[in-house]
Amino acid sequence: MASVKRFSSPLSTFVIPVLAGLLMAWGIGYLSFMVKLEHLAFVFPKKFSTDTHLAFQNIKNEKFVVNVYDISSKYSPKLNLESYTLDSETTAILGRSDLTPANWVFLINSIREAGAEHLVITQSLSWENTDELVLRAIQHELSQLESFAIGIDLQRGPITQEFPSYLEGSVIQSPEAAALDEIPRINQIGSHPSIEAPFYGFTQLENIHPDKESDTIELPLLVRWNDKLLPSLELASLMAQNGSNPNSVLFLPGKSLLLKGQSLIIIPIDKTGRTSIPLKKIKPLSSVKLLESPEETLSIVALIPENSSLQLQQFPFSIQYLDSLKPQRSSNRYSRLPFWGETAFLGIFVLILHHRKWWLSIVAALAYFVFPFSTGEWLLFSPPLTAALAFTALKTRGTRDPIENSTPSESPVETEEPVEDPEPPPPEVPVKESENSPTSKLPERHSSSSRQATSSKDRLARKKHGH
């Protein structure tokens, strides 16, 4: 059993557990279930905070990095935005009861020439039997702006339509394991837009209207068409302004939406994809001012139909409020302990196992909580756990069977088989001898032979006497 003795030696029970721990530290990034357990076990400040203004972002889970952002600062609008109503006065100036595609070309061109950088059109640009040349002119005018967003009407009906191909560029990516059951479902589009734009957003949802008696509004930001997430017009506009394409939007169900672009915008959301914002009644200006006083046009313009819902009326304030949800304080970043640090910790941990001191074990356990709070570095649980299991296995294997570990000088105790006792000989009849006979004086070892000789002489004497 020399191999058992070799692997249970003090040197082996130190080296092998450390190597096992390092192997786990190297390969844990390839074990998704272990990575999830490490994220759940990792403790850092504000992890258990219920403050809705805190958002947590996991960046590249296999690298074990956690960023904590604080967006608890007060609302401070920074966007220069104004909304205008497409009313009857505007259409009257253009000589129409309704805006034609050619009127839209003129209106968009006037807004762009006035210095607007971002345009939001809440009305779906949809026409039948329209000249393709005019539609291309509209698209050309829109392409000259830095960014824009167009509203569409999404509905839910008894029959599911095929997902429109022109909405593929607006789909927000969602995690594979994300629970989307609470997100409102839609399966139809009310009126198909006539132009091909890179960014669409739904204007409002059926039967979802703000409560006028409340001081807040639950603004829906997401809907899902089967397993595809689509943004609201407010979210689409904000993404376009911030340079956040749908692939750079991180959706954390029930926690937040993170828009990565020119700046990081964090919007707290509930499980239904809604966010709570203050309710502020705004009276949009008439779009006539865009034609009469173009020099007063702001950098961001939103065109809203007349008599629109309260949600669309406060569109400028909603955008400004969502844009203000940026990290105002430096974010706390927690990353994994360097590999050399994990190696040193594993060596110390295995030495503690050798000494079997309970107070040292407590110190090692406290180190898991001291490191994140003091240094912001993350100690993994799996590598020391693997080292402890390897150490225990070696010790258990080395002491399991005492006979296997005995030295060559020691030999097992032999047991003798029981031997049956032979039958006892028949008892001998004692022969009386005279005290003066010469045989009585012989040594004891000759007593039996002398007794036989004496008995023979007696028999011969009796025969002669008889004759």
- Alpha-carbon distance of 301 to 285, in angstroms, equals 11
275 pairs with which residues across the strands?
A: 219
Higher pLDDT, 418 or 255: 255
Least confident segment among 137-141, 188-192, 451-455: 451-455
SS3 222: strand
Entry pTM: 0.66
Higher pLDDT, 435 or 101: 101
Residues 6 or more apart whose CB falls under 8 angstroms from that of 91 comprise 97, 98, 99, 103
- Alpha-carbon distance of 117 to 111, in angstroms, equals 9
Mean pLDDT of 413-434: 52
For residues 54 and 69, the answer to whether their CB atoms sit within 8 Å is: yes
Report residue 207: phi and psi, to 5°.
65, 20
Mean of all residue pLDDT scores within the chain? 77
Residue 15, pLDDT > 80, answer yes
Q: How confident is the model at residue 361 (pLDDT cuts 50, 70, 90)?
A: low
For residues 381 and 41, the answer to whether their CB atoms sit within 8 Å is: yes
Largest CA-CA distance found in the chain, in angstroms, rounded: 186
- Alpha-carbon distance of 374 to 108, in angstroms, equals 56
Give the model's pLDDT for residue 372.
Answer: 65
Pairing of strands 285-286, 81-86: parallel
Helices (H), 114-164: 132-143
- Alpha-carbon distance of 45 to 335, in angstroms, equals 13
Residue type, 312: L
Tokens of 354: 């050798």
Q: How confident is the model at residue 119 (pLDDT cuts 50, 70, 90)?
A: very high
Q: Return the number of other C-beta atoms located less than 10 Å from residue 203's C-beta.
A: 23
SS3 216: strand
Residue type, 405: N
Pairing of strands 300-305, 81-86: parallel
Residue 61, pLDDT > 80, answer no
Residue 85, pLDDT > 60, answer yes
* pLDDT tens digits, 273-282: 999 888 887 7
Q: Return the number of other C-beta atoms located less than 10 Å from residue 150's C-beta.
A: 25
Residue 163, pLDDT > 50, answer yes
Residue spans of the domains in the chain: they are 2-55+332-399, 81-323
> Which run of H or E residues covers position 100?
none
Question: Is 24 exposed, middle or buried (CB count within 10 Å of its CB: 0-12, 13-18, 19+)?
Answer: buried
- Percent of the chain exceeding pLDDT 90 equals 10
Residue 201, pLDDT > 80, answer yes
Give the model's pLDDT for residue 90.
Answer: 79
Give the DSSP per-residue string, 308-347: --HHHHTHHHHHHHHHT-S--SPPEEEEEPPHHHHHHHHH
